[in-house]
Amino acid sequence: MRAVAAFLLVLCYLAVTHAWRCSEGPRLYNARQIDAGQGKVVAINSYGNVHFLIGSSWYRMSSLRFNHVSIGPAGLWATSTSGNKVYKYIAGNFVVSSGLSMRQVDAGGDGQVVGVTSSSRAYCLRSDYASSYKGSGSLSWSNLSRVLKYISCGKYGCWGTDTSNRIYFTQTLSPTTCGNSRWSQISGSAAMVEVGTDGSVFVVNRSGQLYQRLGISSRYRSGTSWRAVSMRMPVRHVAYDLGNLWVVTTSGLLMKCTH
């Protein structure tokens, strides 16, 4: 009973301001990274195991171990802990691809996949390559000519953070050609950035503070300002989809936040 009371006290301190209401998400011990798209949620724990959320329960998907997983219009993609190999989930199995290795990938754009290598170079995989890949042949990645350590795409463009935690945005990235407009630096500092399919943007800085980008629309694709989302505990990773903000704290606690 004492442990339960202590945990409830932690939840009280996790109250979110600015209309976000948070509670403990479906229990996944030692959560490390999470992604959400098209109503689906996937997560990785500290052991590198990928889990898929069905209802209120997590189901382990593979014995393979991964650094990062992403789900969206381009499907389910992941990068391995061994050699940063890129995998696509095909017919119930994670299938390794040949070609470039990636430290992080994102499948949340308009059918394309983007990612960054261990040397912090950003690349894009065209939508036709991403959709047609069935496990044979080498993937042909296009260089996005940007040094980034994290990248994520959504309805109104792509966002990234570089090795100095500067934030960048490009409002156009063609899913069919991977051609992109000029990258513009956005005010602020972030260790990672996540973009929802609807264009919503959230960042986490290196101190574990969470911010939401305001004013994003078809007219102002990069938004207008940042607003802090107070979590009272340092945040490691976030994902957003269909009105749900998924938060992983540095202690491995998984939270689900709604308006």
Tell me what percent of the residues of the chain surpass a pLDDT of 70: 93
- Is the C-alpha dihedral spanning 181, 153, 204, 12 positive or negative? positive
Q: What is the pLDDT along the chain (259 residues), one digit of tens a residue?
A: 444 433 444 444 444 445 799 999 999 999 999 999 999 999 999 999 999 999 999 999 999 999 999 999 999 999 999 999 999 999 999 999 999 999 999 999 999 999 999 999 999 999 999 999 999 888 999 999 999 999 999 999 999 999 999 999 999 899 999 998 789 999 999 999 999 989 999 999 999 999 999 999 999 999 999 999 999 899 999 999 999 999 999 999 999 999 8
Q: What is each CA distance from 164 to 192, 211, 236, in whole angstroms?
A: 11, 18, 17
Q: Where in 19-92 does DSSP place strands (E)?
A: 21-24, 31-37, 40-45, 50-54, 57-60, 66-72, 75-80, 86-90
The residue extents of the domains of the chain are 24-258
- The pTM of the full predicted model, rounded to 2 decimals, is 0.91
Give the per-residue pLDDT at 136: 85
Q: What is each CA distance from 170 to 28, 97, 110, 119, 173, in whole angstroms?
A: 34, 27, 14, 21, 7
Spatial contact of 175 and 158, defined as CB atoms under 8 Å apart: no
Q: How does DSSP classify residue 235? A: E
Q: Which one is the CATH code of 24-258: 1.10.10.10, 3.40.1390.10, 3.30.9.10, 2.130.10.30?
A: 2.130.10.30
Spatial contact of 99 and 140, defined as CB atoms under 8 Å apart: yes
Spatial contact of 193 and 161, defined as CB atoms under 8 Å apart: yes
Give the per-residue pLDDT at 197: 87
Give the per-residue pLDDT at 219: 93
